[in-house]
Structure 1
Amino acid sequence: MNVLVYSGEGTSRTSLAHTVRTLKALVGHHYDVMKIDAKGLLTEPWEESTSLLVIPGGRDLPYTRDLNGAVNNKIRAYVQAGGRFWGICAGAYYSSSQVLFEPGTPMEVQGPRDLKFFGGECRGVVYPGFVYDSEQGANAVEIQLSAELSKEPLGFERTRVYFNGGGYFVNAETYPDTEVLSWYTDNNGLESVPSHGSTGAKASMIACTVGQGLALLTGVHPEYDASHLDAGNPEYGPLPNVVSRLLEQDKERVLLLRSLLTRLGLKLTQQEPQATLTNSGSDIELPPGAIQGIPDLTSLYLASTRPAITQELTRSLKSLVTGAGLIKEANDTFQLIDSPQHAAPFHTPTLSEGADGEGEEKVIKNIVLCPEGAPSGNLTPQFTMDTFFTHLQQLRSTSFNGGQLHFGDSLLYGQVVTSTQTMLDKNFALCQKLPNGFVCNATTQVAGRGRGRNSWISAPGCLQFSMVLRHPVQARHASAVFVQYLVALAVVEAVCSMPGYEDVPLKLKWPNDIYAEAPIEDGSERKMIKIGGVLVNSNFSGSEFLLVIGCGVNTTNPNPTTSINHLIRHHNKVTGKNLALLSQETLLAKILVKLEKMYNQFLEGDRTGFAQFEHLYYKRWLHTDAYVTLTTLTPHRKVRIQGITLDYGLLRTVAVDEQGRDVAGEEFRLQPDGNSFDMLKGLISQKA
């Protein structure tokens, strides 16, 4: 499921960055936190796969220009049908029935609004000094929580949160289906603007029941993490200033935000207690915001099956090192550490502007070279590299031509990384130096990449890796488009081809997802759920495609959906078998050996390419004779899936009539439309 954050014109880049970062921290283990613009909201089938839609702070008028009409109709229908919505500051103004902003000033905005989740008026600003694109009007405002909200587990009645230009909800307590969650207090060091006829305290956060759904509207910014604000900015005033006052109560802010997201029905990342971290023997207090659950990046360890391979790769990588001792690449900067015995330096994160114009944290990544073999297990407790290499060699020894297999000979592992896919795909000069079959894997990714705009914090127990594959351009019979199919098939076959594991219910969903039949318990119905996916990025280099293959599959964690080991346990329970569970080290080795054998056959074999695997692919996929609707045709057409084409891997379908009978001559070839929501709900058709 997805959490969507609106990123169209009008959104504040700062507010957008805080919203996305905070949501990834608090719910990113369970949801893909994604940005979406007005076009995406209008044309993509996002509703059924979305748990929360957020419109962050910014400017209300561009929202009305771009979203009024058809988009707002979709948003309203989504919420009324049980969806969840969060409007923050400008998003809260926009979601009310009336707006009155800075009357009598050059910034005045007033008038009706389209969504009307709150039946009354949102009026502001509450505290003077607001200036667009500035922190001059920023304040650490105190809010009084409602009795319902402040009870356990919060245990406090007041806290401070970031404010800049927000409004209040006039007489909110008098409107039906509206619950006031908090009020502005008089303890903020500033006189609030006149009430313009309203009486009583000014509501700062409300929850509105909309049909079967819920809309949370906040005039304040509980999503702002003060540890990512510049305390030295003179617009925040002298110490103690806005930032320092926010930091004093940041723990309460996070608890409040967790409570609000729970009210919206979201599953939260497990809360980590405030603690200390040890660095070089001294205790360091965790910075404010660490409770949010985004862990710090760790060193990367580079090792190989044989020391000679590491030595050759080290020479290649050192050719990229600058005079400053760094590898400065397009997306990342790396520092090589000669061995695990050498102390890895600590690098302070810096804030740079990303490709989309947003603030983005960057930190130099340490690559610890292991010239004598895999590092000690106590350096990589979540993934033992030596165990992986042992499994890899054992599996190769039982394979025909096992001595010719090389995928996984070199492994770069980090316990916490940004994204294995990004580190390889977005650093082209570095990637060119890496050998065929080079693998990068991680235990936790804090910016994992998926198809389309997907980005998430990976859940514990998910095997996630990226691999470099050099695919020859001249192999016309073996189109690179089929590599994604081979990788997904290799994941399923790595498990289901083992003796005794044949009936473990793993399946393929076109074009690149791995699904499982969820165990049926307590009379529940049969349900297919996603447990993994494949992403292939391609660059052209000389006479070959330089492919970066990304793969993630939930191996050991039964949440939030299910895992391979959970399926095995259930299979054992039902059949009375005692099949062994799989470690991530074992599963990665099995996938790589299976993939390399299949790829070599695909590339060489009898030169028929993917036709050699067509029968096996259909045995494992979900779609034989399934029906889908082509939404790109007017009127929509219902079609039956027949298979995939062997030239470009398109989906072969035939039109059917109302009785489900094939219509002669009405054949369509389909390709995914690139959306990240439901591959079989929006398809681009090409008539056969």
Structure 2
Amino acid sequence: MNILVYSGDGTSRASVIHSVNSLRSLVGQYYDVMKIDDKALLTEPWEDSTSLLVIPGGRDLPYVRDLSGPINKRIRNYVHAGGRFFGICAGAYYAADRITFEQGSPLEVQGSRDLKFFPGECQGAVYPGFVYESESGARAVGIELHQEPFAQDQLRFGGMRIYYNGGGYFVDADKCPGTKILAWYKDDPGQIDLEITNKAAMIACQVGQGLAVLTGVHPEYDATRMDPRNPEYGPQPNIVTQLMEKETERRMFLRSVLGLMGLKISSPESGNNGAAALLSGAIPGIPAITPLYLASIQSSYTTELAKTLLGLADPNGQIQEANDTFQLVPSLQHPIPVHLPALAEAEDGEEEPRITKNIVLCSTDPPSTDLTPEFDMVLFFRHLERIRQQALVHQNPFGGDYKFGNSLMYGQVVTSTQTMLDKNFDLCQQLPDGLVCNATIQVSGRGRGRNSWISPPGCLQFSMVLRHPMQATHASAVFVQYLVGLAVVECVCSLPEYSELPLRLKWPNDIYAEVPLEHPSQGQAGLIPKMIKIGGVLVNSNFSGSEFLLVIGCGVNTTNPNPTTSINHIIRRHNKVTGKNLALFSQETLLAQILFKLEEFHKRFLGGDGRGFAQFEEMYYRWWLHSDALVTLTTITPHKRVRIKGITLDYGLLKTVAVDDHGRDIVGEEYQLQPDGNSFDMLKGLISQKA
């Protein structure tokens, strides 16, 4: 599930960045926190996959201009149907029934607003001195919590201070139906309108089945990411110093607010350890990066690879790459260096923590499970070898000369397996064909487009280096993503007695599972089983000589029932319904099965008498979800109703044919859609151009 932070025109860049970073640090293990603009809010089918929509601070009038009409209607419908909304400062003004801002000044803004989550007026600024796009009017203001909503968390923060810059208060919030006050501004001589007391600073509004939390202060602002040397904050000690003193409390407060909204949150930091983590530059709430252990199915492979890596390293054993720095550790017996994180600018201009990554070269044997408790590398290699031997016994025509999975680089907690390979091209060029990098937890996993793969424990996630010959014109590299998804489903469902498991493929790159109905009566009532995503595929490509250097990324939820469901959960349900006793998968066995099946498919794809993907067409359609499905094509005007017919065998485009008002095919009116240019939400029957 996603948390969307609006980043369109009018938003404060600082508020967007703080919102994304704070949310990722508190809930990033369970939700994909991403930015979204007005175009995507209008055209993308975002509602069903969104747990929280955030409108951050900035300027209200551009929000009115860009979001009024259909977008506001979608936002209201989303919240009314059970969604959650977090409006901060300008986002809170915008979500009120009426706004009065800086009345009588050149900055005055007044008027009604469409969302009306708060059925009253948001009036501000509470403190004087506000200046757009400036910190000169910023303050560290005191707030007083309403104890009842936070009683479970035992929040009793005396003197808590939160960043403020131009926010409003919610007039007569205690008298508005469906509204609960979460916090008040503390009475302060610096406030405007001293005669008005008990100004509500943060409220929760029941909206249909959903909830909107609106705040005039900025609980998302992380003092550790603010620069106290900024002259607009005034001489030191200044507001950043005041905020830093209460940073741990702020994080706990924001945790509690998100918890009130029903979000799943990581465990809180405790006592002085949390404060120490903040001062050291660590990112609270996100697991620390762990070493990468490099081992192979044969020790000689690791020895050769170690020579290659040492040839890339400087005298200190470091490989300085475009995106990452890697420290080579010669063996398991050598001490592992400790590296402090440093902030570096990301592609989108935000700052993100970077830390040197240790690669431990295990040239003799893989590490024991004392070092890698969540993944047994010995078991993985043993199972991979057993599958290969069984294939040779059965005279598999595509057996022998195996590569996929011969070398494995595993880390319990990594940034992103895909990024470490794809964004460090010089290193990737030197890695052997079929090398796999996998992890138990990714703190910034990558998916297609702006998506991230959320990877709590229990989700198998890996990336693999694959060299694909450019001269194989019959076997276009675009089909590799289809082969990976097909390998995931086939490696499970082709096993004896596993063929009835409801795993499916969604075009172009997702793996879905059918969640059975809880009771037969639901089927009699016309309900149909729900399809839930349990995996995805991402393939990045570069040119290297006469071949494509592909980095294949794949994530499959194997054992964790959150945030959707898992393969093992499906097997348990199947066993319960059928009375069978099918064995569950471990991370090690599933990875070995996928790699073996993918290597078999890729060999057949390149060979097979030049038939390319035609060899897999029947198998692919057996598992995919879309045969003869009717969808709406919104990439053209007027929108067109079409029927899905399949994929083209040259470039893997989606084939569709237009239908008339009676659902009959219109001969000759066909449309082909590119997988990289379209978003396909099968549940809504919608195809739309990606933003």
- Give the TM-score of the pair, scaled to structure 2: 0.90
Partner of 1:366: 358
What runs of 5+ residues in structure 1 fail to find an aligned partner?
A: 278-282
What is the distance in 2 between the residues matched to 1:436 and 1:313? 11
The verdict on how the C-alpha distance between 1:307 and 1:135 changes in structure 2, with shifts beyond 3 A counting, is farther
What percentage of residue pairs aligned between the two structures are identical?
65
What is the distance in 1 between the residues matched to 2:568 and 2:269? 28
Matches within 5 A, 1:225-374: 225-230=222-227, 242-243=239-240, 245-246=242-243, 249-266=246-263, 268-271=264-267, 274=270, 286-287=277-278, 293-322=285-314, 325-374=317-366
Q: Given that residues 631 and 687 in structure 2 are in contact (C-alpha distance below 8 angstroms), is that contact kept between their aligned partners in structure 1?
A: no
The verdict on how the C-alpha distance between 1:562 and 1:239 changes in structure 2, with shifts beyond 3 A counting, is same
1:439 and 2:436 matched: yes
The verdict on how the C-alpha distance between 1:373 and 1:284 changes in structure 2, with shifts beyond 3 A counting, is farther
1:207 and 2:204 matched: yes
Query: CA RMSD, aligned part only?
Result: 2.9
Matches within 5 A, 1:111-510: 111-156=111-156, 159-186=160-187, 191-194=190-193, 199-230=196-227, 242-243=239-240, 245-246=242-243, 249-266=246-263, 268-271=264-267, 274=270, 286-287=277-278, 293-322=285-314, 325-399=317-391, 400=396, 402-455=399-452, 457-510=454-507
What is the distance in 2 between the residues matched to 1:22 and 1:324? 35
2:667 alignment partner, SS class: strand
Deviation at 1:430, TM superposition (A): 1.4
**Structure 1 range deviating more: 674-683 or 649-658:** 674-683
Deviation at 1:428, TM superposition (A): 1.3
Q: List per-residue Cα deviations over 1:455-475 (Å, max 9, x = no partner).
A: 254122000001111111111
Deviation at 1:228, TM superposition (A): 3.7
Deviation at 1:646, TM superposition (A): 0.8
Partner of 2:60: 60
Partner of 1:665: 668
Q: List per-residue Cα deviations over 1:188-227 (Å, max 9, x = no partner).
A: 6x621235xx733111012234444432211112223334
1:575 and 2:567 matched: no
1:531 alignment partner, SS class: strand
What is the distance in 2 between the residues matched to 1:684 and 1:47? 15
Partner of 1:683: 687
- Give the TM-score of the pair, scaled to structure 1: 0.90
The verdict on how the C-alpha distance between 1:253 and 1:666 changes in structure 2, with shifts beyond 3 A counting, is same
The verdict on how the C-alpha distance between 1:236 and 1:678 changes in structure 2, with shifts beyond 3 A counting, is same
How many residues get paired? 675
Partner of 1:552: 555
Q: Given that residues 629 and 638 in structure 1 are in contact (C-alpha distance below 8 angstroms), is that contact kept between their aligned partners in structure 2?
A: yes
1:528 alignment partner, SS class: strand
**Structure 1 range deviating more: 255-264 or 12-21:** 255-264
Deviation at 1:319, TM superposition (A): 3.2
The verdict on how the C-alpha distance between 1:4 and 1:29 changes in structure 2, with shifts beyond 3 A counting, is same
What is the distance in 2 between the residues matched to 1:133 and 1:318? 49
What runs of 5+ residues in structure 2 fail to find an aligned partner?
A: none
Q: Given that residues 418 and 446 in structure 1 are in contact (C-alpha distance below 8 angstroms), is that contact kept between their aligned partners in structure 2?
A: yes
Q: List per-residue Cα deviations over 1:428-453 (Å, max 9, x = no partner).
A: 11111111111111100011111121
**Structure 1 range deviating more: 393-402 or 669-678:** 669-678
Q: Given that residues 150 and 256 in structure 2 are in contact (C-alpha distance below 8 angstroms), is that contact kept between their aligned partners in structure 1?
A: no
Q: Given that residues 414 and 443 in structure 2 are in contact (C-alpha distance below 8 angstroms), is that contact kept between their aligned partners in structure 1?
A: yes
Give the AA of the match of 1:449: R
Deviation at 1:677, TM superposition (A): 7.3
Deviation at 1:245, TM superposition (A): 4.7
Q: Given that residues 171 and 199 in structure 1 are in contact (C-alpha distance below 8 angstroms), is that contact kept between their aligned partners in structure 2?
A: no
The verdict on how the C-alpha distance between 1:293 and 1:520 changes in structure 2, with shifts beyond 3 A counting, is farther
2:327 alignment partner, SS class: strand
The verdict on how the C-alpha distance between 1:356 and 1:285 changes in structure 2, with shifts beyond 3 A counting, is closer
**Structure 1 range deviating more: 169-178 or 108-117:** 108-117
Matches within 5 A, 1:574-613: 574-613=577-616
Deviation at 1:30, TM superposition (A): 3.5
Give the AA of the match of 1:40: A
Deviation at 1:333, TM superposition (A): 1.7
2:576 alignment partner, SS class: helix
What is the distance in 1 between the residues matched to 2:678 and 2:112? 33
What is the distance in 2 between the residues matched to 1:335 and 1:290? 19
Partner of 1:3: 3
Partner of 2:84: 84
Q: Given that residues 272 and 291 in structure 1 are in contact (C-alpha distance below 8 angstroms), is that contact kept between their aligned partners in structure 2?
A: no
Deviation at 1:12, TM superposition (A): 2.6
1:619 alignment partner, SS class: helix
1:625 alignment partner, SS class: coil
Give the AA of the match of 1:612: Q
What is the distance in 1 between the residues matched to 2:29 and 2:680? 18
Deviation at 1:304, TM superposition (A): 1.5
**Structure 1 range deviating more: 411-420 or 214-223:** 214-223
What is the distance in 2 between the residues matched to 1:331 and 1:429? 11
What is the distance in 1 between the residues matched to 2:555 and 2:584? 18
The verdict on how the C-alpha distance between 1:175 and 1:570 changes in structure 2, with shifts beyond 3 A counting, is closer
Partner of 1:513: 510
Give the AA of the match of 2:45: P
Deviation at 1:398, TM superposition (A): 1.5
Deviation at 1:47, TM superposition (A): 2.7
Q: Given that residues 49 and 678 in structure 1 are in contact (C-alpha distance below 8 angstroms), is that contact kept between their aligned partners in structure 2?
A: no
**Structure 1 range deviating more: 556-565 or 28-37:** 28-37
Q: Given that residues 5 and 55 in structure 2 are in contact (C-alpha distance below 8 angstroms), is that contact kept between their aligned partners in structure 1?
A: yes
Q: Given that residues 504 and 568 in structure 1 are in contact (C-alpha distance below 8 angstroms), is that contact kept between their aligned partners in structure 2?
A: yes
What is the distance in 1 between the residues matched to 2:375 and 2:223? 34
Deviation at 1:263, TM superposition (A): 3.6
2:312 alignment partner, SS class: coil
Q: Given that residues 336 and 368 in structure 1 are in contact (C-alpha distance below 8 angstroms), is that contact kept between their aligned partners in structure 2?
A: yes
What is the distance in 1 between the residues matched to 2:341 and 2:282? 15
What is the distance in 1 between the residues matched to 2:448 and 2:374? 26
1:665 alignment partner, SS class: strand
Partner of 1:280: none
Q: List per-residue Cα deviations over 1:406-445 (Å, max 9, x = no partner).
A: 1111111111111111111111111111111111111000
1:449 alignment partner, SS class: coil
What is the distance in 1 between the residues matched to 2:53 and 2:572? 36
What is the distance in 1 between the residues matched to 2:567 and 2:486? 15
The verdict on how the C-alpha distance between 1:262 and 1:678 changes in structure 2, with shifts beyond 3 A counting, is farther
The verdict on how the C-alpha distance between 1:338 and 1:128 changes in structure 2, with shifts beyond 3 A counting, is farther
Give the AA of the match of 1:271: S
Deviation at 1:566, TM superposition (A): 1.1
What is the distance in 2 between the residues matched to 1:449 and 1:456? 5
What is the distance in 2 between the residues matched to 1:440 and 1:357? 27
What is the distance in 1 between the residues matched to 2:275 and 2:303? 36
1:372 alignment partner, SS class: coil
Give the AA of the match of 1:163: Y
Q: Given that residues 326 and 357 in structure 2 are in contact (C-alpha distance below 8 angstroms), is that contact kept between their aligned partners in structure 1?
A: yes
2:400 alignment partner, SS class: helix
The verdict on how the C-alpha distance between 1:505 and 1:347 changes in structure 2, with shifts beyond 3 A counting, is same
